[in-house]
Amino acid sequence: MDERTRTDEGAQVHEGAGINEGAGIKEGALGGIRPSTSAPSTPSAPSTPSASPPPVPVLMYHVIGDNDGPLRGLYVSKEDFTAQVRMLKEKGYETIRMSDLFDYLNGEGGLPARPVVLTFDDGYESVYRDAYPILKDAGFVAALFLQTNLLGRPGGLSVNAVREMLDYGFDLGAHTINHPDLTRCKPFQLEREIAGSKKALEDAFGVPVSWFAYPAGRYDETVVRAVGEAGYLMGFTTEYGFVEKESAELLILPRVRVDRSDGADGLLKKLSMPKKPCAGKETQEGMNRYEHGEG
């Protein structure tokens, strides 16, 4: 892999109070909850394998809600999200779990004819409050890439909420502790942010954490190596594209950002475009703001 740095507008965004610079999950946030050993109630195995390897769109969301601030591009309204989930259901898409995708990429399992993966970065409370009921109604699951320093704090998901979604069938992945630019971290910081967030989540929820999402899409060869050495099996970027079995690099897999302006029709159009489309004005403005330190 060529050494490179990827950038995206997925910087810090606040639904509630600010996030401090602590090492991880808020002290006392676990509230005496014990890790669950029960199996997810949602089936994880695809029922109908496809005849030919389908490219898999991995959709990327952040916040469900409305916002007119500088990072409004990270928000998708509840109305649009509802319409998008309805469209996916009507078009025959089936959500698959991370383990399904990993097994498929390693030649150990099949997929539905129209597979899709839904991911939520950071861990905002709107995922539980607004997205989760909509997904449950559709029989869909998703993956949570959690920033551990947001967990249990105002604006972030509570441990109880995460526990409930995991018990339903959601997947748990890491998104570091403090959401830094990993390409600028010193070695000890890399280990803390990458391996430390994995351990914090595994200790909190009692499940393996094998999936990682790069904060703001920033990575280079050193960062990717650290992700692999920490024990993650798949890493997700913010680069546009579908996951293709023949060409997939497990630690730098692409995703499809769902923008606030997409709606159901815009998302449907993206699902027909495995390659990167031209960036919309809103998305490009968000990228420019982030690159100039405004995000």
Q: Do residues 61 and 121 lie in contact, with contact meaning Cβ atoms separated by under 8 Å?
A: yes
Dihedral sign from CA coordinates of 146, 152, 153, 158 = positive
pLDDT at position 234 is 99
Q: Which pLDDT value is given to residue 276?
A: 74
- Supply the pTM of this predicted model: 0.82
pLDDT value for 71: 78
Dihedrals phi, psi of 40, to nearest 5 degrees = -60, 145
pLDDT of residue 278: 57
pLDDT of residue 24: 56
Q: What structural domains does the chain harbor?
A: 58-291 (3.20.20.370)
Spell out the SS3 assignment of 61-92: ECEECCCCCCCHHHEECHHHHHHHHHHHHHCC
Task: Output the pLDDT for position 43.
Answer: 42
Check if the beta carbon of residue 264 is closer than 8 Å to that of residue 87.
Answer: yes
Per-residue confidence in pLDDT tens, the chain, 295 aa: 544 444 444 444 444 433 334 445 654 444 333 333 333 344 444 444 555 678 999 999 999 998 866 778 899 999 999 999 999 999 999 999 999 999 999 999 899 999 999 999 999 999 999 999 999 999 999 999 999 999 999 999 999 999 999 999 999 999 999 999 999 999 999 999 999 999 999 999 999 999 999 999 999 999 999 999 999 999 999 999 999 999 999 999 999 999 999 999 999 999 999 877 655 444 444 443 333 332 2
Query: Which amino acid, residue 106?
Result: N
Q: Torsion angle, CA of 185/191/193/198, rounded to 10 degrees?
A: 160
Task: Look at the chain and count its residues.
Answer: 295
